[in-house]
Chain A
Amino acid sequence: MEDDAPVIYGLEFQARALTAQTAETDAIRFVVGTQSLKFDNQIHIIDFDDENNMINKSVLLHDAGEIWHISGSPADKAVLTTCYSKTSESRVLTCAAVWRMPPEWESGSHESPDDSSNNPQTLELLCHLDNTTHGSVACVLWEPMGDGKRVISLAENHVLLWDLQESSTKATISSSATLEGKGQLKFTAGKWSPHHNSTQLATANDTAIRGWDLRSMSQIYCIESAHGQLVRDLDFNPNKQYYLASCGDDCKVKFWDVRHINEPVKCLEEHSHWVWSVRYNHSHDQLLLTGSSDSRVILSNMVSISSEPFGHLVDDDELSDNEESQQEDKGKEPLRDSIIATYEEHEDSVYAVEWSAADPWLFASLSYDGRLVINRVPRALKYRILL
């Protein structure tokens, strides 16, 4: 059972921002934002054709500035937000905006991909998430599984909850919270929990992870020194409401039960440099993806703390029907926590990894030199989880 080779796509510019198109459930589609101070920045929309193992790309111009963060609306696949830096009067400020992709991009790219790169279309600005009073925006989070009307932006030490109105052309702050404390506090990352009716948010600043209740906009928990150094990224377990994973500059990936914040549930130390991104698989939460500035992407299988700790549950009827399969099951060892694969296709730091929204067995990783790599979960493991 030979696994398909990874598919590699190169961008001309350096890039950090990667997201899967959340609202798209049929096509495997990733969106990448470039970082260049000298040229017009672009948004690359990469369609992956699973059957032919081929990539179709379309490029949209994003002339507002270099893109630090990108995320797609969960409701409308044409809507996305970016965090971009804007230089004015020798001052660099990272702003955020909501954009709509021009309606023709899909058809246009299919007909003549060469033309589209020559004469790229521009994103249509829907609205700015005005942050002049709050400072640089670290990231913008859409309400998970929401109707695409609520976003949160993390600006310096502020949590801002925005309501998008009039088909997202107008954004108003509905509520906000500010993190007070010693020194210059600055959020580095955040995640909107898909559990509890989307009323919880987790943020990272320096070495701490904090939980917020969005109804009261108050802190509900705080894991002080969750990592030895800066926390770079967070992700919620999609199936277990109290579990979240974090990663940081101490090369570790930690798993937390937010009800018991004194000790991590589990700790992985596989990377040899800072871990920049951690992502749970949306369907099978034992699969965990991490990207690091040691240029590696690691796919781990964390069975013991997943929602299926004993593997796929087999129905009793099936067992009695087929005794052979039962014996086969006995021969199978239960899966243990392990690294499934280390992907070394990158040659520069990997700042972003994402699972595909459409195919749970597929993921993309982006390194600073602009290389996007699309990989699949090894088939052997896939069948083992499914069967």
Chain B
Amino acid sequence: SFPGITAIQRQRETHIYSGWSLMGRRLACLSATTPPDSDPTGRRQVHSMLKLYYGMNEEGKVESLDPCDINGPHFDPEVYLNKLRKECSLGELMDHESCTVKQIRSLDSDMQTLVYENYNKFISATDTIRKMKNDFKKMEDEMDCLSANMAAITEFSAHISGTLQDQHAQITKLSGVHTLLRKLQFLFELPARLNKCLELQAYAQAVSAHRRARCVLQQYSHMPSFRGIQDDCHVIMEQLAQQLRQKFRDGGSSAKDLSECVELLLQLDEPAEELCDKFLSHAQSRLEADLQGLEAELIDSLVTDTDILEFIDRGCNEFVSNLCLVIASYQELFINHPQEGELASKKIPEMANGKLHVFVDTLAARYFSLVERRIQEEKGVGDNSLLVRALDRFHRRLQAISKLLPGSAVPSQGTEIVVRAARERIKQYLSALQTFYHDSLTDVRQALAAPRGATSKDATPSLPELLTSLSNFILNQLKSVLASVHLFTAKDITFSNKPYFKGEFCSQGVREGLVVSFIKFICQSSRQYCESAGDRGGSTPPALLLLLSRLCLDYETSTISYILTLTDEQFLVQHHTPVTPVTALCAEAREAAQKLLNHYVKVQGLIISQMLRKSVETRDWVNTIEPRNVRAVMKRVVEDTTSIDVQVGLLYEEGVRKAHSSDSSKRTFSVYSSSRQQIRYAPSYTPSAPMDTSLLSNIHKLFSERIDIFSPVEFNKVSVLTGIIKISLKTFLECVRLRTFGRYGLQQIQVDCHYLQMYLWRFVSDENLVHFLLDEIVGSAAHRCLDPSPMEQSVIEVICERG
């Protein structure tokens, strides 16, 4: 609608456009010489633009790709204009234009200044070049002159050397003669000089002087004058050697002196072997003194009770360190010393080395025997750390020898001693554990016996406590032993990284030799209780058998695996050799537990059977009175069974009964027994049918399982009690069969059996068993009865209720 305005607008745009494109080009050639701008931001802008131009990107700054950035390289005037046109109002456009024009103008002026400056510099350069051209021409002339002079000098020099040649040869000759004369003089003066050296004890000088002259004298010995000198020298040197030998023999001198002495003697062709021997024998006497001192202390230690650490310390400080000194100085003298000339060819080091090894070995052997004797004295098992520290020191000090004498067997022998000591130690600990076990068992025995004498009730409640205290004692002792033995493998102990201590010691020694052996020992000794007690009167109290059986069972279920895991963890046992598996040990423990429990059942069963047997055997059953009471022995049997039940219940679980026991009250039981018994025994009392009795019982037997009397029991209370009751009742039966009964005898048996039935069924797993055995007893008694007229069931019940 305003074509006029649009036209103006367009015009302006083109103007601005052309202005910017111009500015862009100018900016592009802006140099460092741009006059400083007053505006700091503008200057910075200029800087960055310059950098841009020279491709020096400011670190990390991404080039602006914005075509609207007027200073950016990608500036697109078309886009910029479009943008302005779109975004700005007319007023803003006008402002913008005036601003742009101002900028263009300032740029133009900058440009001009630059051009002027450059022009000035160019003109001054042209002047300089012209001046240089003139200077060079002068220099060329001077160089020509110099070369001519040099040629002249060379000529003169050649001339002079030619004239001096003859004189030079003469001078050389004269100087040679002078040297020869000097040497001759040295030779003639040699004896005197040697003598003087001898007087001053400057042996080294004497030897070196003699050495220098020796070859010459040897060569010219056919000439009398030289011969004389040689003889003189010989005499003197002989004297000297004598003195040196003397000095060597005395030995009191310092190591340095000694080494010098040896060196000189070697140079004097003294046989090295002899020297070695002398040196070693000299050292040996000193070391032997040390050993004797040690031996004396060893004998003393038996009396004065000094500890092993002191002994080893003394051994190390005196003997081992002296030995090291001897080895070091010996090696310095004979082996490591660099040999020159003919000496090198004699293979002295090899010979000397051999001698040294023999020497060290013999002395070390004596030392070791002393140390071993001392170690054997260590028998107390209380504190292991002292021994381990002593062994460690002993072993550590021997390492010095191995460094000094690489091929020596001494350190390995030392290690063997340590290994032997460790083995011995394990054995001692095992036996200590075994004695401890025996002692604690004796304690338990006493604890079991003591309260029994005072009050019989106090003995039983302490049974579980005794068990836990016993097993804790043993476990703690074992742990403390393990801790003691563990010292052998501590990281700061030098020998702990030897293969023996890493492998065999842990697996064969500690695990097998100590832990497994101990567990086996427990099982074995437990088994012995069963065997020895069976024959010879049974001195072991039954409670101890029960307790041991529970102990073994606990071992089987947890303790063994706990102990072995503990050991394996502590000693990081790597099983190179086959070791006893946990399962085998557990089986052994279980077997022992079973055996002990069986034995317990047998012993307790026997005690009760003995009572029953005596009561049957000693009574006259034919002439007895009518039963009024249950016999006292039956009450005693029930009492004892109850107390056994309590005792076993303290250590073993209840166990399972046959299902019907839950509702089998006393009443239903008596109904059962009376009805059954009447059916069973009624026919047997009628004399006409003798077969019927056995028929019924035989039919019963056909369908019931055979009862093993002394059979293994299970690990629970019911099974144990069942075993004991079986044994007792079977004895009762067999005893009854050997007797003959009168009428009242049979009735007494009836009463007794009924009483037993009333009380014993609750203890056993299958009450039918008790019924069956008691039926057998009554049946047998009826058979063996002269006048079999049984008592009324109701009367029996009344008597039993009352008693």
Contacts and interface: CB of A to CB of B under 8 A. Distances in A.
Interface of A: 12-14, 36-39, 85, 87, 90-92, 225, 228-229, 250-251, 272-274, 293-295, 344, 347-349, 368-370
B595 to A, nearest CB: 12
B690 A272 contact: no
Contact of A225 (B536, B701, B737): B536
Nearest to B702: A347
A290 to B, nearest CB: 15
6 contacts: A37-B784, A37-B785, A90-B742, A228-B606, A273-B709, A347-B702
A370 B737 CA distance: 14
Contact of A90 (B623, B702, B708, B711): B623
B694 interface: yes
A273 to B, nearest CB: 4
Contacts of A14: 694, 783
Contacts of A273: 709-710, 730
B33 to A, nearest CB: 121
Interface in B669-710: 687, 690-691, 694, 698, 701-702, 706, 708-710
B687 A38 contact: yes
Nearest to B606: A229
A90 B622 CA distance: 6
Contact of A36 (B534, B622, B690, B706): B690
Contact of B740 (A87, A229, A369): A87
Contact of B737 (A91, A92, A272, A368): A368
Contacts of A348: 701
Contacts of A229: 606
A228 B786 contact: no
Interface in B733-748: 734, 737, 740, 742
A31 B536 CA distance: 38
A353 B698 CA distance: 21
B622 to A, nearest CB: 5
Contact of B534 (A91, A228, A349, A368): A228
Given A12-B690, A250-B534, A272-B711, A347 B740 contact: no
Interface string B527-541: 000000011111000
A13, A14, A225, A344, most chain B CB atoms within 10 A: A14
B740 A85 contact: yes
Contacts of B534: 228, 250
Given A37-B785, A225-B537, 5 more contacts: A38-B687, A91-B622, A92-B622, A294-B709, A344-B706
B742 A13 contact: no
Interface string B34-70: 0000000000000000000000000000000000000
B708 A293 contact: no
Given A37-B786, A225-B536, A368-B737, A295 B706 contact: yes
A36, A91, A273, A369, most chain B CB atoms within 10 A: A273
Nearest to A38: B687
Task: Rank and list the top 3 A-B pairs by shortest CB-CB distance, nearest first.
Answer: A273-B709, A272-B708, A92-B740
B468 to A, nearest CB: 33
A87 B742 CA distance: 11
B687 A293 contact: no
A367 B534 CA distance: 28
Helix, strand, loop or mixed for chain A's interface? loop
Given A85-B740, A92-B740, A37 B694 contact: no
A229 B690 CA distance: 34
Contacts of A38: 687, 690
B734 A274 contact: yes
Given A92-B740, A273-B730, A274-B734, A37 B708 contact: no
A222 B786 CA distance: 38
Interface string B750-787: 00000000000000000000000000000000011110
A39 B701 CA distance: 25
Nearest to A293: B734
Nearest to A92: B740
B530 to A, nearest CB: 11
A57 B499 CA distance: 82
Nearest to B535: A228
Contact of B730 (A13, A225, A293): A293
A90 B745 CA distance: 12
A225 B538 CA distance: 12
B698, B701, B737, most chain A CB atoms within 10 A: B737
A272 B786 contact: no
A15 B86 CA distance: 138
Contacts of B691: 12
A13 B535 contact: no
Contacts of A39: 690
Nearest to A273: B709
Contacts of B785: 37
A13 B701 contact: no
Contacts of B623: 90-91
Nearest to A13: B690
B479 to A, nearest CB: 39
A13 B537 CA distance: 39
Contacts of B730: 273, 293
A37 B783 contact: yes
A244 to B, nearest CB: 18
Contacts of A225: 535-537
B694 to A, nearest CB: 6
Nearest to B701: A347
Contacts of A36: 690
Nearest to B533: A228
Contacts of B710: 251, 272-273
A316 to B, nearest CB: 44
Given A273-B710, A274-B734, A369 B535 contact: no
Nearest to B727: A273
Interface in B196-238: none
Given A38-B687, A229-B606, A349 B698 contact: no
Nearest to B741: A37
A87 B740 CA distance: 9
B603 to A, nearest CB: 10
Interface string B3-29: 000000000000000000000000000
